Structure 1
Amino acid sequence: MNRQVCADQGAPAAPRLLDSAPYFPPRGDWEQVAPAREGFDAARLAAAVQYAQENEFPAPRDLRIMNLQRYQNEPGYRMKGPMKDRCGPTGLVIRHGRIVASWGEPQRVDMTFSVSKSYLSTVAGVAYDDGLLPDLEAAVADVVWDGTFDGAHNASITWADLLNQSSDWRGMLFGQPDWMDRPAEGLTLEQIRAQPLHRPGTFFKYNDVRVNVASYALLQLLRRPLPAVLRERIMNPIGASPSWRWYGYEDSTVEIDGQMMVSVSGGGHYGGGMFVSTYDQARFGLLFLNEGLWNGGRVLSKRWIEMATAPSPAMPDYGFMWWLNRGPSAWPDLPGHLFFADGVGGNYVVVDREHDLLIVTRWMDEDRAVLGELIRRVIGALR
């Protein structure tokens, strides 16, 4: 895709002093207020923003180079979907619905890598709310019977297993075998291919091929392109711009009811996934902060959000493609109710309902310690 010139990474724009009542941003606009209006110490919040800016993602801004370096251990790795160069750190801090801090280029459309997974699980939430997916413990093979879930092992995989990445699905999708994704280092090809099977639901493995199987299964269920469902049911109701895109791969087009549709990817591991601005990413996060409500209307059920952000049996800090502040990896000094979307390149959408707080970052160091410290500093700036 075309390279773009990055804007100056200067200080955040001066805020406008507006009403401090909670609100939902109208399409095409978002109020930015002085931090003090929403209960922040301005100097401490500015220091938190500076911390995010100073801890830039330590990888090439040419994300093609980054991917080739990062996944060189994967047999036969190649990029199959679109890629886009990045710029410097970008982000927003939002309280009571209003922006209190902004840095970088929040209007710029960027790759969001595995934050795409949280959008994907939200499409599953739409299917759940519509009654198309009433039983998450049902076998996916009951709906997808084209061979993708053939065999005793794959036939026992449930929708919940796909959504919490404990399916251990085995097979090949769009020319990619499940075992090529993130193999352990130091293994031969034969050893990589001979990894033992785990009963679905019992073993967590972060695996983009299997996430793409989940996307393909939802396409088979909904019989409509997933970006169209997301746009109609989620992004348009929350006032998102028309600039976002959700890509698949060069060979992920399939026929559904006589029409050709792209099966989109759940991340940028092989290219593709969600390309979206920080502003639109923040609208998505604000919907979850408000438990599926938007400006008095119900967009997504509270029940779905509760299920999506509940610990899964195989991984206590992971729900339906949302990360949780639970289990061994939790930050013990931060609220246990925190949950967040997480993608390569410090792409985070952090939801803190206790403080009515949302933090969205792009291109910050992806070390979890850095994210924890940023959250700590933002919450610590509250008076």
Structure 2
Amino acid sequence: MKRDRRERVEDLTDPWSGVDADRLARAAKEQAERVVPGIRNMGSYLASQVSDVSHREVVGPLLDGEGASGVVVRRDVVLASWGDPGRTEMAFSATKSVLRERLMEPLGASTGWSWHGYADSAVECDGRHLPVVSGGAHWGGGLWISALDLALIGQLCLRGGEWGGRRLVSVRWIEELWRPCPVKPNYGLSWWLNDHRTVWPGAPSTGRCARGNGGGHLLWVDPARDLVVSSRWGAEVESLLAEVSAAIEPAPAA
């Protein structure tokens, strides 16, 4: 039977429309048990990540990991969570540029996130001593942020850079994030694109992600499902994405 227009509009606003709640809950429970090993001692964990000891010295602050955590967000509602999604964690390369006044405050982020540079890496700019952006936290430092706050960035991208009636990021910038690179079609501007399922074969081709530490930190955005998944210190994230995506139907084609 054909549904009327009002029903279709309600489906597009109801975050639970087309969601298998039981399957989603199972996916969250299973991910809580898949923890990246060794993270409770960040110094030894980082040492194990780089084999070349000639540049292994830690030059930024460290934050020990607590365990797997994350959230599944759809249409501004947290549908599932695991671990402590409000706990601040090192983000590695999951997201590489965040601005407090321009982005995080308008998004309503917590005050728990922070950014840390390297002790030996700074430049002089107009008389100011500015730390240089650190690379992925492999030598310490970087962005420290919770799964909940990281999910806000994903929601902003999903909305094309608008939030609460304000434009925080240009449409062109979002387009560039997700534009395939000519020399590596599954990579955009610091985002991985799953269009051909070469990044995560078990996840939908409609998704794209910012990931760090081999996926141990993940921000996944799927416009077809109006979906954001933020995962911290979780192993086997492809299984998480496959299960969550299977539990949430994509929106019908326009």
Q: Give the counterpart of 1:234 among 99, 103, 109.
A: 103
Give the conservation status (yes or no) of the 8 Å contact 1:89–1:104.
yes
Give the conservation status (yes or no) of the 8 Å contact 1:245–1:274.
yes
Displacement after TM superposition at 1:244 (Å): 1.2
The alignment status of 1:382 with 2:248, answered yes or no, reads: yes
Alignment partners' CA distance in 2, 1:282 and 1:359: 7
The alignment status of 1:299 with 2:165, answered yes or no, reads: no
Give the conservation status (yes or no) of the 8 Å contact 2:197–2:203.
no
Displacement after TM superposition at 1:358 (Å): 0.6
Provide closer, same or farther for how the CA distance between residues 332 and 111 of structure 1 changes in structure 2, counting only shifts above 3 A: closer
- Greater Rg by CA: 1
What fraction of aligned residue pairs are identical, expressed as a percent?
40
Q: Give the counterpart of 2:140 among 271, 274, 277.
A: 271
Q: Give the counterpart of 1:343 among 204, 212, 216.
A: 212
Show structure 2 runs of 5+ residues with no match. Answer: 1-9, 250-254
Alignment partners' CA distance in 2, 1:352 and 1:271: 30
Q: Could you say which residue in structure 1 is the equivalent of 2:230?
A: 360
What SS does the aligned partner of 1:348 have? strand
What SS does the aligned partner of 1:320 have? coil
Q: Give the counterpart of 1:84 among 63, 66, 91.
A: 63
Displacement after TM superposition at 1:254 (Å): 2.0
Q: Give the counterpart of 1:249 among 107, 118, 121.
A: 118
Total equivalences in the alignment = 239
Displacement after TM superposition at 1:374 (Å): 1.3
Provide closer, same or farther for how the CA distance between residues 86 and 331 of structure 1 changes in structure 2, counting only shifts above 3 A: closer
Displacement after TM superposition at 1:333 (Å): 5.8
Q: Give the counterpart of 1:49 among 28, 49, 52.
A: 28
What SS does the aligned partner of 2:62 have? coil
Q: Could you say which residue in structure 2 is the equivalent of 1:166?
A: none
**Where do 4+ consecutive residues of structure 1 move more than 3 Å?**
19-23, 330-335
Task: Report Cα offsets for 1:95-136 as digits up to 9, x if no partner.
Answer: 11110111111111110111133x2xxxxxxxxxxxxxxxxx
Once the two structures are superposed, the pairs formed by residues 78-157 of structure 1 within 5 Å of their partners are 78-117=57-96, 119=97
Provide closer, same or farther for how the CA distance between residues 242 and 69 of structure 1 changes in structure 2, counting only shifts above 3 A: same
Alignment partners' CA distance in 2, 1:70 and 1:362: 17
What TM-score, normalized by structure 2, do the two folds share? 0.86
Alignment partners' CA distance in 1, 2:165 and 2:206: 24
Show structure 1 runs of 5+ residues with no match. Answer: 1-18, 24-34, 120-226
